[in-house]
Every structure is written in C-alpha cells, then in structure tokens.
Amino acid sequence: MKDKIKKIDITFHFTFLNVVFVIVFISLFFLFLFVPKIHLKGDYVVDININSKYVDEGVNFKKKIKTISNVNTSKLGSYEVRYVYKDKIFKYNLKRIVNVKDKEAPKIVLEGDKNQYYCPNGTYEELGYKAYDNVDKDVTSKVKVEKDDDRIIYTVKDSSNNKSQVIRKIIKKDVEAPIISLNGDDNIFLEVNGTYIEENVTVKDNCDLDTKLSITNNIDNTKVGDYTVTYEVKDKSNNKSEIMRNVKIREPLKSNTIYLTFDDGPRDGTTDVILDILKEKNVKATFFVTMNGSDSLIKRIVDEGHSIGIHTASHRYDLIYASIDNYFNDLNQVENRIYNITGVHSKLVRFPGGSSNTISKKYSEGIMSTLTRDLLNKGYQYYDWNVDSGDASFANSSTKLYNNVINNLSHDKYNVILMHDTKTYTRDALSKIIDYALSNGYSFDSIDINSMPIRQKLNN
C-alpha cells in the first residue's frame, strides 16, 4: 500500500499541471512576503481620564504612516485615531477608539478635624465641608450628609457617577484644657513685710462655666527671696492648665540714704579718680558699665565692694531699641565682660535713657513694655533713679552739678542719683557732694539684686 501511494505521488509530480501549481504557489508565497504587514500597538479601545495626557501607541509598520486623530483630552467623548497608508500597490486604513472619560471622583474637604471632639454637655454642630470635582467643579451642594451614631458620613457623586465618601468621627469628650491668664503683672516686687495682694487669674474653658482653680504660693514676706504663686485650673473633664507669677521680696531702699549710681563708664582718667574718692570717704556706689575703659577698672569696682550692673555695649538707641534680640545681644556682651573680668554674674540693669524713655518709640513701638517684662522673666532687675544729677545735660560744671544735687536731696526718701563717671565735672564735684551729704546726716549705700528696684513709669 505504501509503495503504491509513493508511485502515484511521483507520477503526479511530473505532470504539467502540477508544475504550474507549484510555481503559482511559490510566487504567491514570495508575494506574501513582500506585502507590508500592519497591526495596532496597544488596545483597539483605549479609555483615558479627562485632562490627562494621551500618548498614542501607534502601529507596527515599517513604512511612514499618516496618523489622523481628533482626540480632545479636555472634553468627554469618544474619539478616533486613524492610521492611513497608501502607495501604488497597497492601501491601509486602521483605526483605534479613544474614550475620554471622567474617571476621577470629587474630593471632599472637611472643615475642622476628622476626629472632632465636642463638649459632653453640648451638641455637635456641623463644622462645614467643601467638595470639588475635576469636571463638575464645585459640587458642595451635592454632598449628602448623614449621621450614624458617632459618625458623620459625607457622600458625593459627580455627573459621571464617580463617588467619594469621607467620614468624620465625632467624639463626645472635652480634650481642651482651660485657658488661663494672669490678672496684673507676672513679676511682683514687694518690700520685706509687704502684703501680697492676690490679683487672681482669668480662666476660660471651651466647655465648662465653672472650672476648679487652686492657688498655692510659697511666699515668705519676712525674707528677701524669689517666690512663686502657682495657679492650677481643671475643667470637669480633668484637663489641666497651670500658670505662675513671680513674687520677689526685696529689701526696701532706705530713706535719708543716697544711692550714687554711675552710668556709661568705666573711663580711664575719671572712673579711677571716682573710685579713689569713694575709697577715701568709705562710700559704696553702683556702676552700670559699658564696654569702654580698662578692664582693671571693672575689676576695681568689684574688688572695692561696689555694685556692678549692665548699662549697654553700644549705647546706640537706634540699635538696642530696634528689636528685642538686638537689646539682649548688646546686654550679653557687657554681662560677659563683667563675668570674664570679675566672675560676677550681674543681673542689675540700667536702660540707656531709663525705662521711661520715649526715644525708643522711634525705633520700635512698645518695645520698653516687652523688654522690661522679658528682662524680669529672665531674672534681671532694672533700676531707674529719682534724682537726676543733670550731669548729662544742664549741670555741665562741677559747681552747677554740686548745687543741683544737694538741692534735690531729701531726708524723707531714698535718693537714687543718676550720674556719669565719664564726666570730668562729675569727678570734680564728687568729693564735695559726699562731704555735704555726710555732714548733713545722710548715709550712702549701693544697690544690689536684693534691693527693691526703683522703676519709672513706662512710656513706650
């Protein structure tokens, strides 16, 4: 059987028709090889989001092909991309469907927190929300708000049925502490045995009308020292707030006593002479120093038992009163100088122009109120004066200065005298002033951190 088929096969092979058939077949095969083949890259139907970028994947085709597209990505719709090719023998026309759809859900933005607490005795009030869609724009009015126990569910759909949902948890619990603020000053100065008057605090709470306030203090008004009054307040949900007030018990300045205070120095040629006179008369004074003069003068001031305080490094009003930072940077320079030379951490301060100066207003409105408070809170004390020797203004001779000082002394009060150890006429009048005072029954003393500060009224 096998042999028979073979025979027939061989016979057929050599027939004329068969030869023609084979030739046609081979020709078609080669023709097929030459026909350019074409097919789409990517899907026939492509869905893209509106306003997104459409990148056409094109076709797999070796020859240059024309692409015709009407895709508008900024408008919802169904579009076509066509790929056209034509030469003398072949013609192709393929297409792809591109659907521009809204695939993005609106966004819901809640006012307030996602976990919103409200007072135990209160009712939750809607805090508001907004919803925005990429196509429909503001869809706030379409938001459906439902309440379910401790949840508020916000749902919104855009015109393409894309849905968004946001949930807010509402919790009946007071988590906010009361807000507490001091009535009166945060730094109170009292003379020894003076009476502390409680000025109390003001308390506000988000939920409770009557909060629990406890006031404790460690004040011992019989002893010079720094004390605190602590105010602690709790609301009904046990949220706690605390605030403190500093109470400083100080030695009163003595009446019939002269406190000589010298600013702007030291200065070689004047401060050294002034120190000699004070030593000779056994009088103690207070020096508010700058960066000027020899270090040895700073050392002498301390070594000879006088008080040393900080005046200023630059003495430039436009600089030190321009900002809080400027002031403290300046102050620290002098403080460090004193410390480096003497080992004394001075916390005594005198403001250039005094605390009542109005010049500072030109550089920074209200700066003296802030500065004085900051100084006290940082542990410094500032001291003004109640007798101006005039040596920085009209009393520009030793006679004028002498007369002005002795005419302004009083036996019934303390006399804190403002002087400048940089002035030659101050140096020259000092001996006579001291002699006059001693022979008229006055005493001399210096000011220190335990002394009751003398403070002028703030004007800026």
Binding site for Zn ion (CB under 5 A): 263-264, 352
Cα angle, residue 448 at apex, residues 443 and 454 outer, rounded to 5°: 80
Question: For Zn ion, which is the closer residue by CB, 263 or 335?
Answer: 263
Question: For Zn ion, which is the closer residue by CB, 130 or 316?
Answer: 316
For residues 111 and 128, the answer to whether their CB atoms sit within 8 Å is yes
For tokens 């000025």, what's the residue? Answer: 199
- Parallel, antiparallel, or unpaired for β 151-157 and 307-310? unpaired
* Of 248, 247, 241, the residue nearest 202 (C-alpha): 241
Question: For Zn ion, which is the closer residue by CB, 158 or 263?
Answer: 263
- Kindly state the smallest distance separating residue 377's Cβ from Zn ion, in Å: 24
Q: Is 302 exposed, middle or buried (0-12, 13-18, 19+ CB in 10 A)?
A: middle
Question: For Zn ion, which is the closer residue by CB, 254 or 315?
Answer: 315
- Kindly state the smallest distance separating residue 300's Cβ from Zn ion, in Å: 20
For residues 441 and 409, the answer to whether their CB atoms sit within 8 Å is no
Question: For Zn ion, which is the closer residue by CB, 92 or 317?
Answer: 317
Q: How distant is the alpha carbon of residue 217 from its chain centre?
A: 32
- Kindly state the smallest distance separating residue 263's Cβ from Zn ion, in Å: 4
- Kindly state the smallest distance separating residue 435's Cβ from Zn ion, in Å: 26
- Kindly state the smallest distance separating residue 352's Cβ from Zn ion, in Å: 5
- Kindly state the smallest distance separating residue 212's Cβ from Zn ion, in Å: 50
Cβ-proximal residue to Zn ion, closest one? 263
Cα 245 to Cα 230: distance, rounded to the nearest angstrom: 7
Contacts of 359 (CB under 8 A, 6+ apart): 317, 321, 353
Question: For Zn ion, which is the closer residue by CB, 79 or 351?
Answer: 351
Q: What is the 3-state secondary structure (H, E, C) of 401-429?
A: HHHHHHHHCCCCCEEEEEEECCCHHHHHH
Question: For Zn ion, which is the closer residue by CB, 106 or 354?
Answer: 354
- Kindly state the smallest distance separating residue 392's Cβ from Zn ion, in Å: 7
Enter the tokens of residue 9.
């096969």
